[in-house]
Amino acid sequence: MIDFDREGPVWVATINRPDKANSLTHDMLVALAEFMEDAQAARAVILTGNGKVFSAGADLDEARAGLAVSDIWERLSGAIAALPGLSICAMNGTLAGGAMGMALACDLRICVPSAKFFYPVMKLGFLPQPSDPARMAALIGPSRSKLILMGGQKITADEALNFGLVDRIVADDALMESARSIVSDTVAAAPDIASGIKSMCAASGSPAEIL
């Protein structure tokens, strides 16, 4: 249910469960975490989805059985944040719930015009994953984070761009091409220069340093 491409300097993980809105099971999250932990050698990593939804968050049946409070979410987002290469979340559609942590941990986020963003964890009776509010606030500020996490608001792609939650909106058929174009300079640069720049950016207080 997840397709992995480990060939070359750019590794790609594609969530491929479109019939279930790319909702995530425990096994899928473990596979993603292991992929990200193995991607230390990759120069860039792109995380995307198949279908019209990037991810609806946790599989509902597994969420009720305990997945909603599992530490696998933190393991995954921590592995993404620790990547030495440039990471991009290329969202092919709406992002909801616990899947937000994956996107927040990436260096960059791009999305298609139809994407929407919401994190209804409070309504469901759970706290967000521990690192998610801090990463979100580092990107969009405390007030807008509360708008999403406490106000339960669904944010459009245009609003997300205005907030700083996403960095660019691209056409559906140009999503992966855009992601690969963005990472191309990083891949072409000397590894120590690219990783050095990432470290310098993290030192200024980016979400990537919140592990």
Identify the pLDDT of residue 204.
54
> How many H helices and E strands in the chain?
9, 10
Amino acid making up residue 34: E
Helix (H, G, I), strand (E, B) or coil at 50: coil
Max CA pair span of the chain: 47
Tokens linked to 151: 């106000």
Specify the pairing of strand 2-5 against strand 10-15.
Answer: antiparallel
User: What is the reported pLDDT for 209?
Assistant: 43
Q: Given this model, what pLDDT does residue 170 score?
A: 98
To the nearest whole number, what is the mean pLDDT of the chain? 94
Confidence at residue 43, expressed as pLDDT on a 0 to 100 scale: 97
Below-70 pLDDT ranges, the chain: 203-211
Q: How many residues does the chain have?
A: 211
Q: What's at 156, amino acid-wise?
A: T
3-state SS class at 4: strand
Q: Which helix (H) or strand (E) holds 91?
A: strand 86-91
Does the pTM surpass 0.85? The reply is yes
Say if residues 10 and 44 touch (Cβ distance below 8 Å): yes
Instruction: Output the pLDDT for position 206.
Output: 45
Task: Locate 206 and state its tokens.
Answer: 């980016």
C-alpha distance from residue 161 to each of 110, 156, 169, 179, 182 (Å): 9, 9, 7, 16, 17
Output the CA–CA distances (angstroms, integers) from residue 17 to 55, 131, 175, 188, in the order listed: 9, 26, 18, 33
- Judge contact between 14 and 48, C-beta under 8 A: yes
pLDDT of amino acid 207: 46
pLDDT of residue 121: 86
Q: Give backbone dihedrals phi and psi of 76, rounded to 5 degrees, phi first.
A: -65, -50
C-beta of residue 168 within 8 angstroms of C-beta of residue 20:
no
Q: What is the pLDDT of residues 30-77, one digit of tens each?
A: 999 999 999 988 999 999 999 999 999 999 899 889 998 999 999 999
Pick from 46, 58, 56: nearest CA to 13: 46
